[in-house]
A and B are shown apart, each in its own frame.
Chain A
Amino acid sequence: MEDDDLTRLLQQHASRHPASEGLRAKVRTQMTLQAAAQDRPPVRPRWRERFAALARIHPAFAGAGGLAAGIALTLAVMLIAPRLTPDGPVPDDLVAAHVRALQVGPLYEVASSDRHTVKPWFQGRLDYAPTVLDAPALRDQGFTLLGGRVQALQGRPTAVLAYQVRLHKIDLYQWPAERRSAPERLQRRGFNLVRWSDDAMQLWAVSDVDGAELERFAAAWRTAAAAH
């Protein structure tokens, strides 16, 4: 057989694997998210500018704008506050923080697959002691602890544990909370979030793995935490 014969055989008969539509869509979504995270437009000043512009047209608007804003704010607080307060940072902030960590890093400031180095690292950096888990039960299910970091969320330093499953990163945010709640799954901008709380901590897992897998992570983590 000559080289040319081989080339012909390969070109005619070898399987080709073009990218699926799903993969194309995933890459495009991922790119849009990255671009959005790089230049997020400021939201709040825009409203203020609008009211200021109205007030410039006629001073009466300043009062009307203020009144409308007051009513809107009261309504918003009444509707959202009971949900918002125990949760602290809202899901959108968590996703933005997760994307920022993936994009510019650091994903973790203390690297470890050993909780004996991660847990003490948080000392003196936070006014609470986060639960750090790297249980065999987690590792056996493919969830590896990469390390931990402290990230500001709504102006408060917050404990984050970075886990990995296959090629995907899972960020686990936690802060003190008193009530206990069962896991709940949310979705924001293509990312999955699962939140739950035990008696001491409110926990949020954020990742691009699919929702079922993130719930599996949450379940494994809760079981390991209970045995901890």
Chain B
Amino acid sequence: MTDARRFEATVLPLLDTAHNLARWLLRDAAAAEDAVQEAALRAFRYFGSLHANEDARPWFLGIVRNACFTALARERGRADVTLLDEDGWEQLEARSPGPGPDPLAALGARREQGLVDAALRQLTPPMREVIVLRELEGLDYRDIAHIAGIPIGTVMSRLSRARAQLKRQLSLAGLP
């Protein structure tokens, strides 16, 4: 099988997960598509670095999340934001809060979706990243650690803080 064929068979089936992650991290449809496209191009170029029996999913999602965090940093106009730890992100987020829950949407039939989405959007990108990978995409801690480039212990503590924040917010909204 040629490299192009092998790439097509390996990476194209991962586009849904990749786009979901990018969309949740960047919160913008055009930016998410750009990031996935850029990641796919990079993945194609470095496809040779993926070992024959290595799992392509964490490998490719790692490239996607890096493209997203680079885009986030660019969006904020500072090249060094990728180096910020969570506290740094929290300060930035506090300065530019995302949109709160939309009361009209909450009244409608899609009330739960509106509330859950709003709660997710309020997480900082590093926390949103682990929650999306764990709860929406069902990846295990080891893969998440690989993708985010952090130790497993950090994945677990980040997850538990993200869960605590989500629970607090959803309970206040009267869920479940």
Contact = CB atoms under 8 A, between A and B. Distances in A.
- Which of A19, A24, A168 has the largest count of B CB atoms less than 10 A from its CB? A19
Interface residues of B, number: 41
Given A15-B117, A16-B20, A27 B170 contact: no
B30 to A, nearest CB: 8
B176 interface: yes
Nearest to B36: A23
What DSSP secondary structure best describes chain A's contact surface?
helix
A57 interface: no
A30 B33 contact: no
What DSSP secondary structure best describes chain B's contact surface?
helix
Contacts of B24: 17
Given A19-B15, A34-B45, A10 B135 contact: yes
A12 B32 CA distance: 23
Interface in B62-92: 71
B4 interface: yes
Interface of B: 2-4, 7-8, 12, 15-16, 18-20, 23-24, 32-38, 40-41, 44-45, 71, 112-113, 115-117, 120, 131, 135-136, 163, 166-167, 170-171, 175-176
Given A3-B163, A10-B116, A19-B16, 13 more contacts: A1-B167, A11-B136, A14-B135, A14-B136, A17-B19, A17-B23, A17-B24, A19-B19, A23-B33, A27-B12, A30-B44, A31-B40, A31-B44
Shortest beta-carbon contacts, A-B, top 10: A17-B23, A19-B15, A19-B19, A18-B16, A13-B116, A35-B4, A13-B112, A167-B34, A10-B135, A1-B167
